[in-house]
Copies of this chain bind each other. A is one copy, B any other.
């Protein structure tokens, strides 16, 4: 039985899905051996997933059949379950809540071996459209406090077919809470948004800018924890990823496409994750939040100091990462006027 537990000192929520060790160790074994297994996300395998909740489809195709370009389905093995009331229980110093929530998978393309770097900009825009639609739809449920969109790519991801996890949580993850708190503190001192200030300063110095478009900025974070850590922010203040406009979709898609391409030209089989950071929902909505995306590249270089201490050692200067990525992105997509 899954449950959410909160660590009493750090107040960090963790989902404990509570499988038996026999089952888990069998899973570990299978994962090491399953390379040849057929992919449940490929066209023709639609019956292997739960019924779709959203899709971009050829108008003549039918629901849960082939003919889709993006398809969103509930996760067959969800961390959170959708039915039930959220019970919050204290047990001495400990707090827990029922693991109620949504857990969906965005299948990003019919092509098993595609990636954003090789997809057309319009295809990537379709993926973003699915993110936005799910983000808007799931907030209809008042039990949820946070939508989390997370995409893992590369070696180590159990299913190679490009996909993204979308989760609706009944609690606010510690990291988002920390960002909200940090932004409120900054706002309290300066009456300005901290991320807006970062954008202004980065645009004026330019050394960490990877690419600026009309509405977005991709930059190497000043205090990047990982080599090639990249942030993408809307230049105009906006707290909620769900407010992304139709005309922003292709521009953001183009930026993400060229960034993925750049990582692939610089690195041999890059493994990276992309996470959308957006304001909590309903009575926790915070208009002073500034939504953004963070891309974290996993290289074998990182020494593990950060485990347990939160002290990160990054061997690559963000300015050097920006220089390298800027070059690759510019080569793939020379600036157009209006960019």
Which residues of A are at the interface with B, using a C-beta cutoff of 8 A?
5-21, 24, 27-28, 31-32, 79, 92-94, 148, 150, 152, 156-157, 165, 167, 169, 173-176, 178-179, 182-183, 186, 194-195, 197-198, 201, 221-225, 227, 273, 275, 277, 294, 296, 299-301, 303-305, 307-318, 320-321, 324
> Do the beta carbons of A175 and B12 come within 8 Å of each other?
no
Give the number of copies in the complex: 2
The 8 A-B residue pairs with the shortest CB-CB distance, nearest first, are A175-B310, A275-B308, A173-B311, A7-B223, A9-B182, A18-B317, A174-B310, A5-B223
| Residues of A contacting B: mostly | mixed
Q: Would A15 and B310 be within 8 Å (CB), given that A93-B197, A223-B6 are in contact?
A: no
- Chain B residues with Cβ below 8 Å from A182 are 8-11
A273 contact from B5, B10, B307, Cβ within 8 A: B307
Q: Would A310 and B79 be within 8 Å (CB), given that A19-B315, A223-B5, A316-B24 are in contact?
A: no
- Chain B residues with Cβ below 8 Å from A312 are 12, 14-15
> Do the beta carbons of B175 and A320 come within 8 Å of each other?
no
Measured in the bound complex, the distance between the Cα atoms of B315 and A273 in whole Å is 20
Q: Would A275 and B307 be within 8 Å (CB), given that A15-B312, A197-B93, A313-B79 are in contact?
A: yes
Measured in the bound complex, the distance between the Cα atoms of B20 and A316 in whole Å is 7
* Shortest Cβ distance from A304 into B: residue: B152
Minimum CB–CB distance for A225 against chain B, Å: 6
Q: Would A94 and B222 be within 8 Å (CB), given that A301-B24, A301-B27 are in contact?
A: yes
Measured in the bound complex, the distance between the Cα atoms of B184 and A56 in whole Å is 51
> Do the beta carbons of B28 and A299 come within 8 Å of each other?
yes
> Do the beta carbons of B300 and A307 come within 8 Å of each other?
no
- What are 16 A-B residue pairs whose CB atoms fall within 8 Å in the complex? A5-B222, A5-B223, A9-B179, A9-B195, A11-B182, A12-B225, A14-B314, A16-B314, A18-B316, A79-B305, A148-B309, A156-B300, A173-B311, A174-B311, A275-B307, A275-B309
- Chain B residues with Cβ below 8 Å from A18 are 315-317, 320
Minimum CB–CB distance for A223 against chain B, Å: 4
Question: A11-B182, A17-B313 are known contacts; what are 11 more A-B pairs with Cβ within 8 Å?
Answer: A5-B222, A8-B194, A12-B223, A13-B223, A14-B314, A19-B317, A94-B223, A148-B311, A150-B304, A275-B308, A296-B308
Measured in the bound complex, the distance between the Cα atoms of B264 and A45 in whole Å is 40
> Do the beta carbons of B307 and A10 come within 8 Å of each other?
no
- Chain B residues with Cβ below 8 Å from A275 are 307-309
- Chain B residues with Cβ below 8 Å from A324 are 21
> Do the beta carbons of A183 and B15 come within 8 Å of each other?
no
Measured in the bound complex, the distance between the Cα atoms of B311 and A169 in whole Å is 10
> Do the beta carbons of B93 and A194 come within 8 Å of each other?
yes
> Do the beta carbons of A15 and B314 come within 8 Å of each other?
yes
> Do the beta carbons of A7 and B222 come within 8 Å of each other?
yes
> Do the beta carbons of A301 and B28 come within 8 Å of each other?
yes
Minimum CB–CB distance for A247 against chain B, Å: 27
A13, A167, A275 pick with most chain B CB within 10 angstroms:
A275
Measured in the bound complex, the distance between the Cα atoms of B116 and A130 in whole Å is 50
